[in-house]
Amino acid sequence: MGRAYIRGFVLALRRWPVVLVLFVASLLAGLSFTAAAWSWLSLALGSSLATRTLLTDLNVQIFIDLFMHHRESLGMLVLAGSMLAVAFVVLGVWLNAAAIASVGEEISASNCLLRGIQLYPTYLGLWALSNGCMLASTVAVFLSARWLTRWTAESAAEMTSYWIVAGGAVVGALLWLFFATVHDHARIRSWGAGVGAVRAFAWALAYVARRQRRTLPLAVLLLGTSGALWAVYQGLSHYLATNSAFGVTLSLLSGEALLLARMFLRVWWFGAETDLQQGREGAASWVPVAIDRPAA
């Protein structure tokens, strides 16, 4: 597990062009939503004092006022945000395929993007399967917790319902981690062995649950790295005052630095999982599929 963790970091450093592509795509997603939100603000508030205040001070009271007094027009922002979210989910499936291709073998960033297009139908199917499992597990945990709460309603212990809610949250989080890890390994398997979405997902279920017991500890380690990165960002942002144009600019720049670090971590994550799957237990079934190249 430690070898895969370190190897993934090295692979992410070597694949910095792909990290930059992921960063630019995420930056465009954020800028698109920002443009939509600012258009709505201009429509709702015009050139009022509140609009000018938000340029230099991210005042929470103004956002509360917007929600209370401009709720009708807020639907426009929600609709625009939903359309952008769908567009960037579609884009994200492609970019994740390109990222996995980049850590699997030595190919250029352009060939990684081409490979992402070739894998797109399979990866879209894997996305639907994993999210369907996550949704089903969430509903099952919610219904189970609700049934247990009603069944123990007569209990004399005051903390019973709280323990049920806490236990349900823990179980739900563990199931999400499990299916997210399965999703990653299914995508890697599909790329490496050239199998379809259903076969890759079924293989990954057995691989994560039974065959390779280091997959979940590695995911927890990488998740902890993400949490540490977020904690550092929150600690630094605590000292960035947003009551001036300079402070807002620094806050935005720190946010972009966090976004770049997150994209690096995503490639690192794929690299570590790929190295683990290419290891002693997964090497026998690892046969990378060559990229189709046009004839000369």
Tokens at residue 259, please? 């976004």
**DSSP string covering 202-215:** HHHHHIIIII-TTH
Give pLDDT tens digits for 24-66: 888 887 777 777 666 666 666 555 555 555 555 555 666 566 6
Residue 75 contacts residue 262 (beta carbons within 8 Å): no
- pLDDT, residue 272, reads 92
* DSSP state at residue 289: P
- pLDDT, residue 159, reads 80
- pLDDT, residue 282, reads 45
- pLDDT, residue 67, reads 61
Give pLDDT tens digits for 81-122: 677 778 888 888 988 888 888 887 777 778 888 888 888 999
- pLDDT, residue 285, reads 44
Q: Which amino acid is at 240?
A: L
- pLDDT, residue 45, reads 59
Residue in 190, 22, 28 with CA at minimum distance from that of residue 98: 22
Residue 154 contacts residue 195 (beta carbons within 8 Å): no
- pLDDT, residue 158, reads 72
What CA–CA distance (Å, rounded) separates 242 from 257? 17
**pTM, two decimal places:** 0.78
Tokens 């690096």, residue located: 264
Burial label, 274 (beta-carbon count in 10 A; 0-12, 13-18, 19+): buried
Residues of the chain with pLDDT under 70: 36-78, 80-81, 156, 241-248, 280-296
What CA–CA distance (Å, rounded) separates 208 from 64? 45
Tokens 């630019």, residue located: 24
Q: Which amino acid is at 34?
A: T
Tokens at residue 158, please? 């005051």
Tokens 């939503």, residue located: 33
Tokens at residue 89, please? 């989910």
Q: Which ranges of the chain does DSSP label H, i.e. alpha helix?
A: 2-14, 16-45, 49-56, 60-69, 71-104, 109-151, 160-193, 197-206, 215-237, 245-277
Tokens at residue 33, please? 């939503």
- pLDDT, residue 187, reads 92
- pLDDT, residue 283, reads 45
Q: Which amino acid is at 204?
A: A
